[in-house]
Structure 1
Amino acid sequence: MQFSSSSPPPSQTPTRVVLRVFLDGKQQKIFDDQAGREVEELNLPDRLILGRQDVTKGDPMPFRTITFTDHRKLIVTPYERREISRRSLDLTLDPLGNYLRVGNIGTHEVEVAPSGEGRIAHQQVRTFVVEDLKQQPIRLMIAKNIAIEVGVKGVVAEHQFPEPTLSQTSISQSVTDVAMMLRQSRMSDGYATPTGPSSADIERILGAVSAVLEKAASSPDFFTTAAENVCKLGNFDSCSYLGLDLTANQWQCEATWPAYDSVNNEGPHFDGKALEYIWTNRKTWATPASFGEASVSERIVVTPVLSHNSVVGALYASKQKGMLGDDVLADCEVKFVEVIRDCLTVGLERLKQEQEAAKHQVCLAQFFPPGIADRILYDETLLETREENISVLFCDIRGFSTISSAIGSIRTLEWLRDVLGELSESVIRHSGVLLEYVGDEMVAMWGAPDSQPEHADLACLAAIDMIGKLERLNQAWSDRIPDHLLPFGLTIGINTGDCVVGKKGTEYKYMWGPLGPTVNIASRVQGATKHFCPKRVGEDTATIYLPPNILITEATRLALGSNMPTRHLGSIQVVNIPDPIRVHQLATSTAGQWNHLRENYEHALLQFESRNFLEALNTLDNIAKIDELRSDGPTRCLRDRALALLQNPKLVGDDHPTWLLDQK
């Protein structure tokens, strides 16, 4: 039924594609907001979004449509059903109405029936031929008990929709049903009263149910425990659990009770026709009671284990001739097996949910600090779009292009993995959020999704921590990077401000993070670090000038709650940012001549801003006389600017003292 399997024949009249909703196997009426009434089938518009109710936008209750400019939305679950995204499926018809595109824009995979259609994974798009829908509609299992049927008007699916998802409550009802059957057949081990099943009946059945439910589905003896309790509960000779290998389309015996000697005894045999029946019909099969004991040597009960309306396994119970009961007992036998089957279904579903939750938690843990990741796992509203005051950090490897050309692509990837791994650890350790890697650049933020009043301090501490790891990283790669390219460094830019945070991108590929001028300025400030370093070697001393490792904006400096060492470097005008930005160097240490450098540089900057260029040159030259400070890039840059304006006063423009940077 996929796009590649067939092509639609020419049609004079467009086929009307309709949508139906089923809840717990029962069809629901849909309120069509355009028609102003309830309908059994909704005519599929050019584009329809299916998703959870969004109360923040005033969405109505489930099974009602909303009309927007370019699409319609059908609410399929209430706000409380957090497992369903507010935008889960995107159904689009091509202009000629020949193809139906189904895009999974939610967070969980969606199973498609018939079973041969498989599943639609997150961010995957599947295309169906509308002409094929005339033969067999498709069913989209958008939730455990909600199915969406898409087909042609008047054509109904051949197979029934799945029964409501099993729970321990439904199992309790099954226990009561089978106990009542025991009382009616007068086969209970305890005393059957006229008004209901005996306590012995209930106790025996609940004991078997508890034994299975208490076993984790991941336990190696989970299926064996189920098979054992089938035998004990229904007096069967043996019971096996068969798993269905969907890839090879074969049944595999995964557990049998009692266990058999695989060396000296042949394994159990299974009735292929019975297995074919349960796979096709998704119903229990039992040897008909009318056969009688004389005509069969073995009586079997085979019941399918389902997951989202697909058969994933089977319980196969057998009883030899001479141990059979009467026809009424046969009903009890079947019900015994089905009760344990229900326990297996619940256990497997619980395992799947745990695995999905664990996978989701691993994904979150890759980007968020452990505490925040745990909170998001239980409260996804933390990721909803909103405005927050945040701090954003951009970090780039200085010398990356030259080094990567020298060591080759494979070793470059190893080097990047090592360096970015260390930098990421600094972000996580200081409660930051990893946003993305772009080549050798890393982006992180603080202040969202969880509130962090000290986000500016945390961002700066993380940056200082990153710089502190450079010595070890250079040492670790000294045998693989040519000596003349070492040491490599980092350039970091940090900005603080109000920003919109949330999901960004498209409905098929998105990421969570901030968007707006605050982010752009942080990126430009990081790129500005290279402008504070002359691209030449000193004439007389052959000094190699070094740029500041960390630049922060005035907004970040004012947001700092602690007294961190900074040096005001001046105002810069960067590409695509209209207003000048006051930038400061964040020092990683105050040892040595730092205070002397900061005081004299900021004094020279004031002289420069007041157009006292000669005095600024004298002050800056005093800094350069100290050997420890001779390689300071910002000092040399400011001196060059002061000298150029002193020699040619016409270069002093209206934008003085802002430094215009024409490159990102």
Structure 2
Amino acid sequence: MLHIAIFGPQQHHQTSHAGLVAIAPAPTGWHTVDPPDAPSEGNYLECLPTDNGYTLLIECDHATNATSGENLPRGTRLTIDSGVHIAVGDTHIEILNDRAPCDDRELEPLSSTEYGHERSSGQGGPAASTIARWLEALATLHRWPASRCEFYEDAALFAVDPIGLDGAILLRTAGPGEWNIVASRLPHPAAGVAYQPQLVEQAARAGHTLFHSAHSDEQSVVLSPLKDLTGEVVGMVYAYRAPHQTNGRRCIRYLEAQLVELLAQSVGCGMSRLEMEAHAARDRVTYQQAFAPYVAAQVELDAKTLRGSEREVTVLFADLRGFTNLCGQHSTSDTYDLLNDVMDALTAAVMDHGGTLIDYYGDGLAAMWNAPVDQADHAVLACGAALGMQETLPEVSDRWEHLLDKPLELGVGLHTGIAQVGNIGSSQRLKYGPRGSTVNLASRLEQATKMLGAPVVATREVVQRLGGRLLDYRICQAELAGIDEPIDVFVIRTATSSASSLGCISRYEEALTQFEAGNLDHAKQLLITICTDCDLPTQFLIDEIDREHNRRLGRRASDERNVTTTSAIPLSPK
């Protein structure tokens, strides 16, 4: 197996190959090419398998032996024993042969015993100014955010200056036995641009810093694993010292290895911090899509609030009226652009009132309050959102008047009750919402708004929690499909002090009382006196009075309503 490292101004990578492989230039730099794409002319290098190993065939101009500086003309063949290192212009190519005998020196673990041995042997330590420079550089690295694009490059630089090693390579795992170079600092590329995979694997298995402490004329290395939050090895700091004219040292000193370990820990912490920040950012985006900002902030602080629980909530369902027919009249793009505009407005109303978005469906949405965090005035907030939707809808209609025959209409139903709430999605995709009869009742109310002729309706459970902060009045007692008992349905409106409006509402409530008492004529007379400008559902109740008259007179033989029906009005969608 050959390990081919290519280092140039804009590249540094290393790959492993068995068998024939070529190395050729490209616009982005030199790269390896496997058969059958290997070039047969132009500038290239070719690693040829032989009975005894590999031979490197040089078929390019300006190649030199990186160690000796010897020119290597075209046609030169070099035997790859332990390895070869050539330079072509400003690009260095180092090829290691893993069949070659390994360095006789053992990699030693970093421990206090080595340090004590080093000190007792009389070896001089670094000067105080050197140590101060080390610590200052390390502190600087700690302050840099891991998201900074130069973070890895700066970490590699730290191993060279101020620690004083000749080169450093930062690696990240890319799978079992696979490593990618993410950064390097090689001020003396002739001293080596490749890392030794077998040493990297040894340090990864050991899980701690290893280094060459014995003197040698060969390259000495120090390896320190990068670990994630679970202690798993996810990368490696690989640094080396090689004998050359400007550096006579022949090993890695204990304090140097210790600093490389500190460097690895700093990089590992930075990587873990970046991972946590990325995870938090993903969660933040997810929460902000589902929850109002202040709710999202609380959930981000404690994700346990999303656990399943049973609690009181106010649920809202909103749905556009007649949108299905509108879809058939316009192009798909126009239809979806209009729907997106509507949903933006409805969603803003939910978020502005601290709501939790449950889901979008068809041409409507569902939302709730008082989950996942407590909201003492959840019913008021929900009703405020419903009224806000109604207030903003005319603006949307104005923007799309060129497509609309009439202004958009929206029906909203609200109910407060006990529900099971929690994440009904998955660990990859959040879908926090409620389950149970409370949800069903709110949905049925929304469906009834068209028959009632009222844009926002709610149950008594909602009204009881408003504390007079909004205007409400009972529109009728209704029988809803799928709901066992009749319920009182209330209209929700913005509070007003208008004597005319309040007088109209009072007459409507009296008419409803007369209707439920069976006094149909009196009820109808009261309704007729109500001003149409008051925007009350008078026509709905007049129609019910006429229907009840017909039932009593037997004029509707096809009327399937039971003659013993109470004052509750069936509101089943047709």
The offset of 1:353, in angstroms, is: 0.8
Greater CA deviation, 519-528 or 413-422?
413-422
Going from structure 1 to structure 2, the CA distance change for 1:182 and 1:207 (only over 3 Å counts) comes to: farther
Match of 1:519 among 427, 439, 456: 439
Secondary structure at the aligned position of 1:603 is classed as helix
The offset of 1:648, in angstroms, is: 3.0
Distance in structure 1 (CA, Å) of the matches to 2:190 and 2:522 = 98
The aligned residue for residue 485 of structure 2 is: 579
Q: Which runs of 5+ in 2 are unaligned?
A: 1-108, 555-560
The aligned residue for residue 282 of structure 1 is: 204
User: Is residue 2:490 matched to residue 1:569?
Assistant: no
Match of 1:225 among 154, 162, 181: 154
Q: Percent identity?
A: 25
- 1:45-77 CA-to-partner distances (Å, cap 9, x unmatched) read xxxxxxxxxxxxxxxxxxxxxxxxxxxxxxxxx
The aligned residue for residue 637 of structure 1 is: 540
Secondary structure at the aligned position of 1:648 is classed as helix
CA contact (8 A) 1:394 1:526 kept: yes
Distance in structure 2 (CA, Å) of the matches to 1:310 and 1:403 = 59
Equivalent AA in structure 2 for residue 282 of structure 1: A
Distance in structure 2 (CA, Å) of the matches to 1:442 and 1:174 = 61
Question: Please, what TM-score do these two structures have when normalized by structure 2?
Answer: 0.70
User: Is residue 2:183 matched to residue 1:254?
Assistant: yes
The offset of 1:549, in angstroms, is: 0.9
Going from structure 1 to structure 2, the CA distance change for 1:215 and 1:200 (only over 3 Å counts) comes to: same
Equivalent AA in structure 1 for residue 488 of structure 2: R
Secondary structure at the aligned position of 1:382 is classed as helix
Distance in structure 2 (CA, Å) of the matches to 1:267 and 1:608 = 100
Distance in structure 2 (CA, Å) of the matches to 1:429 and 1:336 = 52
CA contact (8 A) 2:203 2:209 kept: no
Query: Residues 469-548 of structure 1: matches in 2 within 5 Å?
Result: 469-479=392-402, 481=403, 483-484=404-405, 486-504=406-424, 511-532=431-452, 547-548=453-454
The offset of 1:497, in angstroms, is: 1.9
Kindly name which structure, 1 or 2, has the bigger radius of gyration based on alpha carbons.
2
The aligned residue for residue 340 of structure 2 is: 417
Equivalent AA in structure 2 for residue 573 of structure 1: E
The aligned residue for residue 569 of structure 2 is: 659
- 1:481-518 CA-to-partner distances (Å, cap 9, x unmatched) read 2x32x211111011112233223367897732222222
Equivalent AA in structure 2 for residue 638 of structure 1: L
The offset of 1:622, in angstroms, is: 2.2
Equivalent AA in structure 2 for residue 615 of structure 1: H
Query: Residues 184-223 of structure 1: matches in 2 within 5 Å?
Result: 184=120, 186-190=123-127, 206-223=135-152
The aligned residue for residue 549 of structure 2 is: 646
Distance in structure 2 (CA, Å) of the matches to 1:254 and 1:529 = 64
CA contact (8 A) 2:387 2:494 kept: yes
CA contact (8 A) 2:445 2:457 kept: yes
CA contact (8 A) 2:311 2:421 kept: yes
The offset of 1:645, in angstroms, is: 1.7
The offset of 1:286, in angstroms, is: 8.1
Going from structure 1 to structure 2, the CA distance change for 1:216 and 1:505 (only over 3 Å counts) comes to: closer
Equivalent AA in structure 2 for residue 621 of structure 1: I
Distance in structure 2 (CA, Å) of the matches to 1:402 and 1:278 = 67
Distance in structure 2 (CA, Å) of the matches to 1:417 and 1:267 = 61
User: Is residue 2:346 matched to residue 1:436?
Assistant: no
Distance in structure 2 (CA, Å) of the matches to 1:179 and 1:421 = 66
Distance in structure 2 (CA, Å) of the matches to 1:464 and 1:268 = 74
- 1:27-47 CA-to-partner distances (Å, cap 9, x unmatched) read xxxxxxxxxxxxxxxxxxxxx
Secondary structure at the aligned position of 2:467 is classed as coil
Secondary structure at the aligned position of 1:502 is classed as strand
CA contact (8 A) 1:299 1:321 kept: no
Distance in structure 1 (CA, Å) of the matches to 2:425 and 2:545 = 45
Secondary structure at the aligned position of 1:559 is classed as coil
Distance in structure 1 (CA, Å) of the matches to 2:115 and 2:132 = 10
Going from structure 1 to structure 2, the CA distance change for 1:441 and 1:312 (only over 3 Å counts) comes to: farther
Q: Which runs of 5+ in 1 are unaligned?
A: 1-172, 191-198, 261-265, 533-546
Going from structure 1 to structure 2, the CA distance change for 1:213 and 1:182 (only over 3 Å counts) comes to: farther
Going from structure 1 to structure 2, the CA distance change for 1:662 and 1:281 (only over 3 Å counts) comes to: same
Going from structure 1 to structure 2, the CA distance change for 1:450 and 1:267 (only over 3 Å counts) comes to: farther
CA contact (8 A) 2:473 2:509 kept: yes
Going from structure 1 to structure 2, the CA distance change for 1:599 and 1:246 (only over 3 Å counts) comes to: same
The aligned residue for residue 613 of structure 1 is: 520
Distance in structure 2 (CA, Å) of the matches to 1:404 and 1:279 = 62
Distance in structure 1 (CA, Å) of the matches to 2:114 and 2:333 = 65
Greater CA deviation, 436-445 or 571-580?
436-445
Going from structure 1 to structure 2, the CA distance change for 1:459 and 1:241 (only over 3 Å counts) comes to: same
Distance in structure 2 (CA, Å) of the matches to 1:647 and 1:219 = 79
Secondary structure at the aligned position of 2:484 is classed as coil
The aligned residue for residue 400 of structure 1 is: 323
The offset of 1:176, in angstroms, is: 7.4
CA contact (8 A) 2:241 2:250 kept: no
Distance in structure 2 (CA, Å) of the matches to 1:654 and 1:372 = 49
Distance in structure 1 (CA, Å) of the matches to 2:112 and 2:143 = 19
CA contact (8 A) 1:175 1:202 kept: no
Query: Residues 266-345 of structure 1: matches in 2 within 5 Å?
Result: 270-271=193-194, 274-275=196-197, 277-278=199-200, 282=204, 292-293=216-217, 296=218, 298-307=219-228, 309=232, 311-312=234-235, 314-322=237-245, 323-326=247-250, 329-330=252-253, 332-345=255-268
Going from structure 1 to structure 2, the CA distance change for 1:175 and 1:596 (only over 3 Å counts) comes to: farther
The aligned residue for residue 358 of structure 1 is: 281
Distance in structure 2 (CA, Å) of the matches to 1:182 and 1:489 = 84
- 1:517-547 CA-to-partner distances (Å, cap 9, x unmatched) read 2221111111110112xxxxxxxxxxxxxx2
The offset of 1:213, in angstroms, is: 1.7
- 1:563-585 CA-to-partner distances (Å, cap 9, x unmatched) read 31122111111111111110111
Q: Aligned pairs, how many?
A: 451
The aligned residue for residue 61 of structure 2 is: none
CA contact (8 A) 1:224 1:257 kept: no
Secondary structure at the aligned position of 2:464 is classed as helix
CA contact (8 A) 2:358 2:432 kept: yes
Distance in structure 2 (CA, Å) of the matches to 1:525 and 1:464 = 16
Distance in structure 1 (CA, Å) of the matches to 2:191 and 2:364 = 60
CA contact (8 A) 2:203 2:225 kept: no
Distance in structure 2 (CA, Å) of the matches to 1:177 and 1:601 = 94
Secondary structure at the aligned position of 1:189 is classed as coil
The aligned residue for residue 559 of structure 1 is: 465
The aligned residue for residue 87 of structure 2 is: none
User: Is residue 2:511 matched to residue 1:604?
Assistant: yes
Output the aligned Cα RMSD.
Answer: 3.5
